[in-house]
Structure 1
């Protein structure tokens, strides 16, 4: 039986009005299976242009939109926790404010959730900001056992692609701030709590990458978040001591290598899966 679902989006001052409008339209109006509700969390003040784009999207939305404003920017984990609490339905689809959902995305994902899974992601196509050129494809692990093994080394889900049961998210403790790794931290806890998970290899979302996409994956802030994450995964027993040491060495070093090397390493070892995820 088909179940209604909520779409959860968050916007903040750094989002571009045109990108937001495309993300919203592609995930609501253009879907062959539309959400029954949109929860749009505004994380702090935004520009007049983005405010106007939000008002236009709400006015023209074919489904009800709950627009929740947070007075001061509090970060993505807090914004999503606030939004999740306002979703009317147990099935919730995530969407970022600068990506594009392909029309069959929810029609493909929802039957898997309705069939018993708690969390389902998809593959992605990476495209450039300037001319829309496709520059990459991320193919995730699909089976539960593969996902569980890979999760000990890297996030097995692309956050903008996921659909999940709110009840499964809540059982795992919900969204919690953890540097820049709140999505990985949530999904690891869900798997650790026994969530039934899967991925569709088919790319059902277009992920926007700009000139700074790989630069943002490096640096001291990313390294600090990485260390927080690895300590947290080890603390709950999600990783073994050997896996912890491997992750600190490999993933920690990755944050400081030159950007061209980081780009190649990500595409070969991370975006398409790592051959070292069984340690």
Structure 2
């Protein structure tokens, strides 16, 4: 029986699929099964998968109509025979020793349940965008901490296709829930259940960014962002959404608008009393805009940070006021 089950959902990925499959088949650690779910592709993806399955018996192919990534992942988890489950995406590339290094670490650190890695961003995008996304994806984790605060405040700090799990914890958590941001939901449920997440300080995944990627598709109408905010609210407020609630949104732009929209859905009795923006004045969404230095003069229950460029400055400013992250404020972007 294989020690590791690599699971990879595939949907219309013919352009990058060969590189992705070969990066798993050519791993230095070979005791693995490779479960590939063809999720109703309409391009040549299934043909490519079948060609590789003829060459390597470690590949287990499932092909059916499209049911989405969450269904596919849970299906693969049910089929997995390995002690460990490694995620893989059909447009990314695993470094040759990725599986070997993750297995070695998990064997020597029995207290770690979910193990990611740092990534190298690739794709037909500018170097500035690559660097920006690498900075977000490669935030280091603390092995002595549950890393909940980082996962809540830094959106994509744990690259989903880089992760290896102990299979038992995935089954205890009953797999993935049906969210656009299914990985964020899983990380937070795992932490709440007492499982530990860590990330190797080595780039073991070539993380491809392109126009057809799941992240870009999910965010065409900001559905991924909205889902992520909802997941964070559920985790932080434990579904206690009926109380009167006065809040501030830091960021008078699109992120602030979306944040308020989701908050008003969750907190029916809530009231946004101000937006905060050091570059704007007047009103936004018919609500007054305050300069950061004026926050001390109003009463509020919570602050939601909805600006990516100003996130660090906002968090630093709020901490200097004696407010505590998660207890008093949270980043929604």
Question: Is the shorter-chain TM-score for this pair beyond 0.5, marking a shared fold?
Answer: yes
**2:5 aligned partner:** 6
Change (3 A) 1:218 1:201: farther
Change (3 A) 1:77 1:215: closer
1:41 and 1:69 in contact (8 A); partners too: yes
**1:193 aligned partner:** 193
Q: How much is the aligned-residue C-alpha RMSD, in angstroms?
A: 3.5
1:227 and 1:252 in contact (8 A); partners too: no
Change (3 A) 1:113 1:77: same
Map 1:69-108; keep pairs closer than 5 Å.
Answer: 69-71=63-65, 73-108=66-101
Q: 1:255: how far off?
A: 8.5
Distance 1:57 1:133 in 2: 36
Q: 1:234: how far off?
A: 3.4
**1:170 aligned partner:** 171
Distance 2:309 2:117 in 1: 17
**1:23 aligned partner:** 20
**2:29 aligned partner:** 33
- Point out which structure has higher relative CO (alpha carbons under 8 A, 6+ apart): 1
Change (3 A) 1:99 1:230: same
2:46 and 2:63 in contact (8 A); partners too: no
1:127 and 1:133 in contact (8 A); partners too: no
Distance 2:175 2:92 in 1: 23
Q: Deviations over 1:77-113 (max 9, x none)?
A: 1110001100011201110000011112112111122
Map 1:47-86; keep pairs closer than 5 Å.
Answer: 47=43, 49-61=44-56, 63-71=57-65, 73-86=66-79
Larger Rg: 2
Tell me the TM-score normalized by structure 1.
0.77
Number of equivalent positions: 254
Map 1:122-161; keep pairs closer than 5 Å.
Answer: 122-129=117-124, 135-136=130-131, 137=134, 138-144=137-143, 145=145, 147-155=147-155, 156-161=157-162
